[in-house]
Amino acid sequence: MENNLTLKRRGFLVGSASALAAAGFGAPVPIAAAQEAKPLPDYVAWKNAGSLIVHSDKTLETKRGEIGAGIITPADRLYIRNNVNVPDDSIVADRDGWMVEFAGVKEPRSISVGELKTLGVETVAAVLQCSGNGRAYFEHKPSGTPWTVGAAGCVLWSGVPLKAVIEAMGGAVEGTRFVTGTGGEVIPEGLDPKDLIVERSVPAEALESIILAWEMNGAPVPLAHGGPLRMIVPGYTGVNNIKYVKKVALTENETDAKIQATRYRIYPVGGKASTSDPSVWKMEVKSWITSPLEVAKAGKVQVTGVAFGGFHAVSSVEVSADGGETWKKADFVGPDLGRYAWRPFVISLDLPAGRHTLVSRATDSEGKSQPREFEPNQSGYSHNGWLAHGVTVDVA
């Protein structure tokens, strides 16, 4: 019975995959956008233009083929997504002088980055991924940046564990249920700060792994990525990783800032957001292929990609060259940088001439695999369906 169902579902998958491929789905959608080649905005003029798709001044995506096998995404290839304008670079003139206010602790006070550096240091490798990464693959065309796969990277963050800071301030107050971080963005005058402020709350359990980072990939965190100090919440989507963090509070309730209250929520297509809808917090297991992308030579082809578990570690990844009909286990490449990092993968396939739909499907340490399709949500968040993330390759 189960076998029959499986077979039926498989039959459906293959047909569907072919149909989608014929319709252009599964192919790297915004290559056209890349070819428009908008120039890099000034504040990220130091980035590697050839590796990036410039969607707007505030949204830059790493091209799928520019993600290598080296695990860590170099700063100059890492995506950019800002909700508000980047602050003036005067805030990184004296990095150690940047002040952060702490609240919800027994001895609340403001503390400089210089003093934070005396409280300890830890390094964590973590995938940084925009909540909307994969939005381009939703068929209902949500508004917002049409990210494909490149609003994500794997980054080494170094800084002080938040736990150590809280301990130095006498511990948390009673009733703490959330960690609420506030970004140092400047809100234009005349506008309601609640509408624009980047202030997010994450469940207090994240306290175990949060780092206040002054270093990214072995160098001071660039302003564009949240320097002088960024609150890193490993396993949580990008928006929860507060840039230029100026306040960290242990709170009983979630912030009522718009970005928390009604934005970054998962609710049905056509619906309206409410605070009872799930917030975009923990990331789910995901993977995608990085090569080949369009054409390959018949014979032995190295199919490469990246896979991560999100909040849990990734444990395996499979690749299919026939749109999901048959699967083979791929090998991970290079050292394991820990549960929050991604792992490059490779599999050597013999591909005959013809058109092939290559897809990858990762499984996390809890046994959860990427779904074939991902149920749509109004704002197009958190897509990890394997079919849509595949690529169609012509082998000659």
Q: How far is the CB of 266 from a second copy (least distance, A)?
A: 31
How many Cβ atoms are within 10 Å of 378's Cβ, its own excluded? 19
Q: How far is the CB of 372 from a second copy (least distance, A)?
A: 28
Q: How far is the CB of 16 from a second copy (least distance, A)?
A: 31
d(CA 357, CA 371): 17
Query: Which residue's CB is nearer to a second copy, number 311 or number 374?
Result: 311
d(CA 347, CA 301): 8
Q: How far is the CB of 247 from a second copy (least distance, A)?
A: 24
Q: How far is the CB of 159 from a second copy (least distance, A)?
A: 8
Q: How far is the CB of 109 from a second copy (least distance, A)?
A: 17
C-alpha distances in Å from residue 259, one per residue of 184, 185, 193, 197: 15, 13, 11, 7
Q: Say how many residues make up the chain.
A: 396
Query: Which residue's CB is nearer to a second copy, number 72 or number 196?
Result: 72
Q: List, in order, residues 6 or more apart from 148 with CB less than 8 Å away.
A: 28, 29, 30, 61, 64, 134, 136, 137
d(CA 53, CA 75): 15
Query: Which residue's CB is nearer to a second copy, number 120 or number 144?
Result: 120
Query: Which residue's CB is nearer to a second copy, number 36 or number 94?
Result: 94
Residues 294/393, Cβ–Cβ less than 8 Å: yes
Half-sphere exposure of 239 (CA within 13 A, CB side): 25
Residues 61/49, Cβ–Cβ less than 8 Å: no
Chain contacts with a second copy (rule: CB under 8 A): 48, 51, 67-77, 117-125, 156-158, 215-219, 297, 299-302, 304, 333-338, 341, 344, 346, 348
